[in-house]
Amino acid sequence: MKINYLFVMFFLYMFLSIFIGIGFAVLMPVVIPIPGSFLQMFYIASIAAGVALGLLNYFLFFGFVRRCIFHFQTVLTSVRNGDLSARASFQSTGMIGRLNADLNRTIAHLEITKEMAGRDDLTKLPNRAALQQFFQEISEARLPYLLYFIDVDQFKTINDTYGHVTGDRVLQFTAGRIASACFSEQRLYRLGGDEFVIMEITGTKNGKSTQLTQSRIDQQLRVPYTDGENTFTITVSVGTYESLNQQEDFAAVLHKADQAMYKNKRQKHKNILPLSE
């Protein structure tokens, strides 16, 4: 059975106010003599004053509780809508202060959890889930975008030759070099394995050409990878896909960009030099 505690508090306030009014009416004549002709009126006035005071206290209590609930509901609505930067802002001690602090700690924990869930453990880049969420947002908004599908050349050979520990370090190194090549309006993601994706919203004055972006990536990767024992140059193959104001399927777009990347890989295959120590 559900209980409406505001109604309970209302009846409690009324009971206490009537009790106080009756007590005041009974005790006051003992302290200050009141003529008998005014005694009945005094009793009624005392009880009425007690009820009025009780109503005033109840409505003050009701207004404060309503304000607190409305504030916390606003914060929670923002969180449900995906805004994990929302925080309760009551500057208070006691019970309200603890509730405020507990709510903010819970939201901060959710924010950290969401950030970790959307980030790749190895490279610390946003992962496939984060890419898919961003893709969904810009696709629903029908924003034009450019997607770069990047694959590390000969990565299986690197793993087979130097081991998976070195392979992981190569991925970290490659992620850092590609990130250095990106412009501020471009977002870099690790799709999985040795595959990375750059997303860029186009159609603005700041849009960069694909040739310029690929040139910057190649330039950054001219710096050879070295771990003290092994030194070699890393190359990547890049496929691009451009969308113009249309809502598309995430998997289909990745497939098209992947096909463009493999076309680029096949064209340059004969020119890929063996890994050099």
- Catalytic positions, please? 194
Q: Per DSSP, what are the bridge partners of residue 268?
A: none
Dist. CA 239–CA 269, nearest whole Å: 14
Q: Per DSSP, what are the bridge partners of residue 198?
A: 148, 188
- Say which amino acid occupies 114: K
Tokens encoding 115: 């950030």
- Residue 250 has, within 13 A of its CA and on its CB side, a CA count of 15
| Whether 268 contacts 237, CB under 8 Å | yes
CA-wise closest residue to 149 among 180, 190, 182? 190
Sign of CA dihedral 77, 80, 85, 88: positive
